[in-house]
Amino acid sequence: MYQTLISLLVLGLLWGGVFLLLAGGLNLIYGVMKVVNLAHGDFIVLAGLMAFSLYEIGFNPLVSLPIVALALFALGGFTQFGLLEHIKGSGPTAELRTLLATFGFSYVVSNISFLIWGSQFQSIPFLQGAVVIGGIALPEALLVCSFVAFALSAAVHLWLTRTKHGKSVRAVAQSSLGAETCGVDVRKVRFLAFSVGSAMAGAAGALLICLIPFQATSGGEMTVQAFTLIALGGLGSYVGAFLAAELLGIAEVMTQYFLGANGAAGIIYVVFVAVLIFRPSGLLGKAGRV
């Protein structure tokens, strides 16, 4: 029983990493731009399917990961420059319009994925083994996903706190007007944030397709899950997102084992709503002030 419990705990933590991988890019973009990229999941799916095609011609997903991430970096840049930058104004109306624009774009991306790859589920037979430590099996795919998720989060954190670029990104996140008066090129920073966030979605896609089969229409569900996660953590909060991911991972695995698999997939929403009742701005979100 002990062994099982530890196994479950480890699996939960590792799945937390997968959740974090799913949501990391979205969190960055939201944190800096207060923009919810509703095409996030479709970006992940597109990236995953690209990795799938690269695998078909002989590329290992770990090799295609940077290629795909770069492609998504470009796509993210295009989205920001070609689309979101043209939405003027601020306040709730502008937020809603941005939401609508990314929503429309999610249709475009998933439709393109459909036209290229059809809508069959695809996945890559890679990292299917497990590392066994003390009788506890650690699935390779989960290990790699978690590792990349944590590494990416750490890298982004370092980038934000230690580099000049990163600092200007944080400045924009806190006050775009203030940053602009300090001579920060706000447009460039937004471009950078959106591109890096999209590249993170690309990296996620290339790995997740080794774990979860994708089809062209899978993106919507992923966006929702990723978004629920970052909202649970407190929008834009990195530590919050990490806590939320681990909480959801463990809740999901434990529910599946102890309460039944049927409710397990929905448990993230139950946890989410339950947390919101007590903390209306998520785990580590800032409460609004007058």
Q: Check: CB of residue 64 under 8 Å from CB of residue 206.
A: yes
Q: How far is the CB of 47 from another protein (least distance, A)?
A: 17
Which residues, 6 or more positions from 44, have their beta carbon under 8 angstroms from its beta carbon?
22, 201, 202, 204, 205, 208, 219, 222
Q: How far is the CB of 46 from another protein (least distance, A)?
A: 13
DSSP state of 86: G
Q: How many residues does the chain have?
A: 290
Q: Measured from the CB atom, is 36 or 172 closer to another protein?
A: 36
Q: Measured from the CB atom, is 112 or 239 closer to another protein?
A: 112
Q: How far is the CB of 116 from another protein (least distance, A)?
A: 12
| Euclidean distance between CA atoms 68 and 47, whole angstroms | 6
Q: How far is the CB of 188 from another protein (least distance, A)?
A: 21
Q: Measured from the CB atom, is 19 or 166 closer to another protein?
A: 19
3 state SS of 266: coil
Q: Measured from the CB atom, is 193 or 275 closer to another protein?
A: 275
> Which phi and psi angles does 218 have, rounded to 5°?
-70, -15
DSSP alpha helices (H): ranges in the chain? 2-33, 40-56, 61-82, 91-117, 140-162, 164-174, 176-181, 186-208, 219-233, 238-258, 261-264, 267-278
Q: Measured from the CB atom, is 139 or 166 closer to another protein?
A: 139
Q: How far is the CB of 165 from another protein (least distance, A)?
A: 27
DSSP state of 286: P
Q: Measured from the CB atom, is 70 or 140 closer to another protein?
A: 140
Beta-carbon count within 10 A of 259 CB: 11
Q: How far is the CB of 53 from another protein (least distance, A)?
A: 12
